[in-house]
Amino acid sequence: MSQPSVILATASYDHTIRFWEAETGRCYRTIQYPDSHVNRLEITPDKHYLAAACNPHIRLFDVNSNSPQPVMTYDSHTNNVMAVGFQCDAKWMYSGSEDGTVKIWDLRAPGCQKEYESVAAVNTVVLHPNQTELISGDQNGNIRVWDLRANSCSCELVPEVDTAVRSLTVMWDGTMVVAANNRGTCYVWRLLRGKQTMTEFEPLHKLQAHNGHILKCLLSPANK
């Protein structure tokens, strides 16, 4: 059976991952996942693979297969994996974990390729559209920019001390970033390119968006 043009994948504390035909609502594939609950799902831009971020591993499944077995397992994290995503050409994957690390994984080879120490539990990681910087937010309220070319932290800021950053989102053109925290606050910055080509943050707004901690913030994609 050919796969639908729009893939809908879901995961739950019931220890399953399911694939659905979004237009008809028909579930056409179920993967039993007894080892862990799933924290995050991400599909590669080419729709070939699905990454499941779990505790403490990441597993990669072939979207176009009926096999219940993953094509690759990534085991380097030691605690809940809270963030996962892919580079635009799906050559590598990034992840963030409650073990306090951000990691880079080459999808063409097993094992962790790069690791960055955030110390505090990492709740959220996003890839800058320039594909050369990762931005992470952690439980202690730190936001860090990781320069993948220099292999180091190029920028660090703390909007509110000891207030966990729960979610980050970057504008499609890389001109804006928003961080949401445990106190219901959203911070909005304009992203600028500094003299040393590193990203700099120019404050725009502080929004008291909600009365409780925010689970997710999201900027709209590009107009087509």
Nearest residue to 151 (alpha-carbon basis) of 215, 103, 209, 79 = 103
- Residue 85 confidence class, pLDDT cut points 50, 70, 90: very high
State the DSSP string of 145-182: EEETTTTEEEEEE-SSTT--EEEEEE-TTSSEEEEEET
pLDDT digits (tens, 9 = 90+) for 36-69: 999 999 999 999 999 999 999 999 999 999 999 9
The token duo for 155 is 């920028």
Residue 224 is predicted with a pLDDT of 62
Confidence at residue 98, expressed as pLDDT on a 0 to 100 scale: 98
What domains does the chain contain, in order, with CATH numbers?
122-223 (2.120.10.30)
List of residues 6+ apart from 175 with CB closer than 8 A = 190, 191
Structure tokens at 81: 């994996």
Q: How many CB atoms lie within 10 A of CB 162?
A: 10
Report which residue type is found at 136.
S
Please provide the size of the chain in residues: 224
Amino acid 40: pLDDT: 95
Task: Tell whether the torsion through CA atoms of 16, 166, 82 and 23 is positive or negative.
Answer: positive
pLDDT tens-place string over residues 97-142: 999 999 999 988 778 999 999 989 999 999 999 999 999 999 999 9
- For the chain, give the percent of residues with pLDDT over 70: 96
Q: Which residues pair with 178 in a beta bridge?
A: 169, 188
pLDDT for the residue numbered 173? 92
Type of residue numbered 120: A
CA distance 102 to 118: 7
Strand 40-43, strand 72-74: pairing: unpaired
d(CA 145, CA 117): 12
pTM to 2 decimals? 0.92
- For 177, phi and psi rounded to 5 degrees? -135, 145
Other C-beta atoms closer than 10 Å to the C-beta of 58 total: 25
Q: Supply 83's token pair.
A: 């963030």
